[in-house]
Amino acid sequence: MTDALISVDNLRVGYGGRVVLDDISLQIRKNEVLCLVGHNGAGKSTLMNALFGVVTRQGGEISVDGQRLHQPEPKKMAALGIGLVPEGRGIFPGLTVDEIFQLAMWATGVPQRERPERIEWVMSILPRIKTFHARRAGTLSGGQQQMVSIARALLSRPRCLLMDEPSIGLAPKLFQDLLQPIRQLQQQLGLSILLVEQNVKEAFKISDRVLVMRSGAIIHETSPEALADNKVLMQFY
């Protein structure tokens, strides 16, 4: 398919001798929000981490813009326009928000002169960060930490955002507040998003397509509308 930003073919990933993902194939298209759901331990995080190069794959191909990647690595993926918002707290509790941003831009090789502009840009998307950017991330609320984690991923100006359960530990209202600017940004910039979420009700509202995973395999592809009825969804768990 020509409109695929990321293609994954026959991906196999394991930890030690144990295979967790077997023969996974999927595509993340340009300008879509792709929601990935599945039971705990299905391998959703493993898939994201393998895509971003945090976990090494054992087999299969990962391509960006139709170009096969020899070995995905976080820095390379950031340069290709992909950002990962990892599961859990994506922040260093002892660093201030400013330091986290500085570290992220240095790590991904953003030129010095572009840095202030990038920070200004993410602050315009998530303006509330302005009120706590000088504080240690560990002193922030869960919602604020998640906001920082997303902002940090945005600093590399990604075309594709991989978000691993951003709602964890957040009140539903807070999660909506967080998703709204992301949705707007997605539509403005034509961003692609791979979203893993347990809170399917909120996630489906912004999703274009849904993949269901079970025990390391993708077992179903559908539209969010088709899964809106909980009973249909439950049969896949």
Partner 1 sequence: MLLLQLIINGIQVGALYGLTAVGFSLIFGATKIFHFAHGASFAISAYVFYYLYAVLLVWWPFAILAACILVVLFGVVLDRYVYGPIQSADGSFFTIFVGSFGVAVVIQNLIGTVFGRGFISVPSALSRSVETLPGLYVAPTAGIAVVTAVVCFVALQLFLGRTNIGIALRALSESPALVRTFGLNPKAVSTCAFALGSLLVVPAAVLTSMTSGLNAAIGGRVMLISVAATIVGGVGSLRGAACAGLLLGIAENLALWRFDPQWSEAVTFLILFAFIVLRPSGFFGRVVTS
Ligand X SMILES: Nc1ncnc2c1ncn2[C@@H]1O[C@H](COP(=O)(O)OP(=O)(O)O)[C@@H](O)[C@H]1O
Q: Which of 41, 88, 93, 190 binds ligand X (CB under 6 A)?
A: 41
Please choose which of ligand X, partner 1, Mg ion, none residue 41 contacts, taking the beta carbon within 5 to 8 angstroms, the exact cut-off set by kind: ligand X
What's the closest the beta carbon of residue 102 comes to partner 1, in angstroms?
6
Query: Does residue 146 interact with ligand X by CB under 6 A?
Result: no
Instruction: State which residue, 60 or 181, has the beta carbon closest to ligand X.
Output: 60
Query: In sequence order, which ranges of 11-57 are alpha helices (DSSP H)?
Result: 44-52
Find residue 162's DSSP bridge partners: 84, 194
What's the closest the beta carbon of residue 125 comes to partner 1, in angstroms?
20
The residue ranges that bind partner 1 (CB under 8 A) are: 52, 54, 73-75, 78, 84, 86, 90-95, 99, 102-104, 106-109, 152
Task: Please answer whether residues 36 and 195 qualify as being in contact, where contact means their C-beta atoms are separated by less than 8 angstroms.
Answer: yes
Order of all β-strands in the sheet with 82-85: 82-85, 160-164, 192-196, 33-38, 209-214, 217-222
Find residue 217's DSSP bridge partners: 214
Query: What is d(CA 221, CA 20) in angstroms, rounded to the nearest whole number?
Result: 20
Neighbouring residues of 167: CB distance < 8 A, sequence distance ≥ 6? 175, 178, 197, 198, 199, 202, 203
Please choose which of partner 1, ligand X, Mg ion, none residue 108 contacts, taking the beta carbon within 5 to 8 angstroms, the exact cut-off set by kind: partner 1
Query: In sequence order, which ranges of 56-199 are alpha helices (DSSP H)?
Result: 74-79, 97-107, 115-125, 142-154, 172-189
Q: What is the DSSP pairing of strand 160-164 with strand 192-196? A: parallel
Q: Select from 34-42, 60-68, 181-189, 221-229 the region that touches ligand X (CB under 6 A).
A: 34-42
Q: Which of 28, 36, 45, 143 binds Mg ion (CB under 5 A)?
A: 45
The residue with its CB nearest to Mg ion is 45
Query: Does residue 42 interact with ligand X by CB under 6 A?
Result: yes
Residues that bind ligand X (CB under 6 A): 15, 20, 38, 40-46
- Footprint on this chain of Mg ion (rule: CB under 5 A): 45, 87
